[in-house]
Structure formats: structure tokens, C-alpha cells
């Protein structure tokens, strides 16, 4: 049987700075590939999967700056990296790129078998293939350049919905999406784009108005990865 492999851009240990797990020591596994096309994306180096930029896992782990180099990695190899690096965190955040381009069931199950919890950060535009025990954060990307639609199935699978906002139309789009997908029982966070003052003020006011929660990207205020 062919082993499951994932295209990995980087792996690092830090503090989760967003959503319900804010402040939690976490291992981030960033996967390569995303066609969604968010204009404000801060990880555009993960968008394209260029075979010419494939390297080995040691080269990925040796990175000291953002790059579009990636490696094909098995779940077993990832676990070995966690051990070799002596990572202490037991919460693994699988992000991207767009992680739900991949079937994440084998990876998440192996993580659980070895004492880790898993969290997926997705745009909601691809089918979410994860076990029930995985925490799913949907950051719905509405009307992006790639033309992908946010899936009702992704919204309904979400444990939390974390929506980036810069202007009122972003709040209105979220309200419409929640109505269309009959999503009423989730934790909902608003996240100001790029920590802009105006966006932050809008997010605070909207959270109070709708009884939502605020996510402020704590890691960026702290100046950590």
C-alpha cells in the first residue's frame, strides 16, 4: 500500500495566537498549496506547488526565512521530527496553504495515537477530511480571486469560525454566509486584518453587537512566529 505523504513547507513550535486555542503551546505544520487567492494572505509563498522547488525534509527544517521550498513528508517522518527537535507542545496546528486540499485523516489519527491533539485551519472551500476528534477552524474566504465557494459542509463541521475583517462588508458577508449555511451553534471570532486600528474598532463593535468573540493574532503583537 502506498504511504500517505503531505507536501510540507515548514514545521515549527510556538504559541497559538488565534481563536479558542490562543496561548496554547503548539507545533505548526504548514502545508504547501492553495488556489484560493486571498489578497491579504501573509503566506503567499505556500500557494504554488512547483516540482522544481521540492527538497528533502532536512532542507525544510533548516529554513531560517520564508520560502516556497517544500518536501514530501509522511506522518511517521513528522513524528520523528517532533522527537528529534524535542518539541514539548502536544497540540498540532495543520495549516497552509490550504490543508484541506489533502486527506488529513491518516495524519490526525497518527497524531492522536501518539498523544497529540490536532487543529485544522482552513478556508472552508475544500471538503474537510479529518477525524471527529480534530478541532476545525474555518476562516471562510468569501469572494476571493480563486473563485472558490465556501462549502456548507465545512461550515457545519467547524468547531469555530474565525473571520478576517477590514470593513463592514466583511461583517455583512459573514452574516449572510451564516444564514445561508444554517450555522448558528458555533464559536464565532472576528479577526482584524493586519491589526489595523479601524479594522480592530469595527471588530470590537461587531463582536459586542452580535455576541461574538475577538481574535487579535496575539503572536504578531508578541513578535513571534
Task: List binding-site positions for substrate.
Answer: 15-17, 30, 95
Is the pLDDT reported for residue 66 higher than 60? yes
Task: List binding-site positions.
Answer: 15-17, 30, 34, 38, 40-43, 95, 97, 139-141
CATH number of the CATH domain containing 27: 3.20.20.70
Q: Establish if 110 belongs to a structural domain.
A: yes
How much of the chain is in helix, strand and coil states, percent to nearest 5? 35, 25, 45
Task: List binding-site positions for [4Fe-4S] cluster.
Answer: 34, 38, 41
Q: Is 54 helix (H, G, I), strand (E, B) or coil?
A: strand
Domain total for the chain?
Answer: 1
Cβ(147)–Cβ(121) under 8 Å? no
The angle formed by the CA atoms of residues 46, 138 and 2, to the nearest 5 degrees, is 55
Find out whether the peptide bond into 143 is cis, omega within 30 degrees of 0: no
Cβ(117)–Cβ(90) under 8 Å? yes
Q: Establish if 170 belongs to a structural domain.
A: no
Cβ(133)–Cβ(108) under 8 Å? yes
Domain span holding position 100:
6-163
pTM here is 0.94
Query: Rg (Cα) of the chain, in Å, rounded?
Result: 17
The mean of the pLDDT values for the chain is 94
Q: Establish if 180 belongs to a structural domain.
A: no
Is the pLDDT reported for residue 196 higher than 90? no
Q: What is the mean pLDDT of residues 156-163?
A: 97
Q: Is 154 helix (H, G, I), strand (E, B) or coil?
A: helix
Q: Establish if 66 belongs to a structural domain.
A: yes
**Burial annotation 172-205 (CB, 10 A radius, 16+ → b, else e):** ebbeebbeebebeebebbbbbbeeeeebbebbee
Q: Establish if 212 belongs to a structural domain.
A: no
Distance CA 44, CA 9 (A): 11
Q: What is the pLDDT of residues 95-135, one digit of tens each?
A: 999 999 999 999 999 999 999 999 999 999 999 999 999 99
Phi and psi, residue 82, nearest 5°: -55, -40
Up-side HSE of residue 57: CA atoms within 13 Å toward CB? 18
Work out the pLDDT band at 221, boundaries 50, 70, 90.
low
Q: Establish if 205 belongs to a structural domain.
A: no
Distance CA 128, CA 225 (A): 26
Q: Establish if 221 belongs to a structural domain.
A: no
Q: Establish if 90 belongs to a structural domain.
A: yes
Task: List binding-site positions for S-adenosyl-L-methionine.
Answer: 40-42, 97, 139-141
Task: List binding-site positions for Mg(2+).
Answer: 43
Amino acid at each position: 500500500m502506498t504511504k500517505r505523504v503531505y507536501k510540507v513547507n515548514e514545521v515549527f513550535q510556538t504559541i497559538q495566537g488565534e481563536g479558542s486555542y490562543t496561548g496554547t503551546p503548539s507545533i505548526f505544520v504548514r502545508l504547501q498549496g492553495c488556489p484560493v487567492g486571498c489578497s491579504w494572505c501573509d503566506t503567499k509563498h505556500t500557494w504554488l506547488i512547483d516540482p522544481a522547488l521540492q527538497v528533502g525534509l532536512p532542507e525544510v527544517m533548516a529554513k531560517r526565512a520564508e520560502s516556497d521550498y517544500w518536501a514530501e513528508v509522511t506522518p511517521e517522518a513528522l513524528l520523528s521530527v517532533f522527537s528529534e527537535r524535542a518539541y514539548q507542545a502536544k497540540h498540532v496546528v495543520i495549516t497552509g496553504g490550504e490543508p484541506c486540499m489533502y486527506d488529513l485523516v491518516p495524519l490526525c489519527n497518527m497524531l492522536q495515537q501518539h498523544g497529540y491533539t490536532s487543529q485544522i485551519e482552513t478556508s472552508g472551500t475544500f471538503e474537510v477530511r479529518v477525524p471527529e476528534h480534530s478541532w476545525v477552524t474555518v476562516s471562510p474566504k468569501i469572494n476571493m480571486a480563486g473563485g472558490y465557494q465556501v462549502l456548507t459542509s465545512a461550515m457545519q463541521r467547524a468547531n469555530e469560525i474565525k473571520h478576517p475583517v477590514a470593513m463592514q462588508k466583511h461583517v455583512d458577508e459573514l452574516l449572510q454566509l451564516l444564514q445561508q449555511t444554517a450555522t448558528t451553534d458555533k464559536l464565532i471570532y472576528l479577526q482584524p486584518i493586519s491589526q489595523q486600528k479601524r479594522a480592530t474598532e469595527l471588530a470590537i463593535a461587531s463582536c459586542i453587537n452580535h455576541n461574538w468573540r475577538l481574535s487579535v493574532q496575539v503572536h504578531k503583537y508578541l513578535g513571534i512566529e
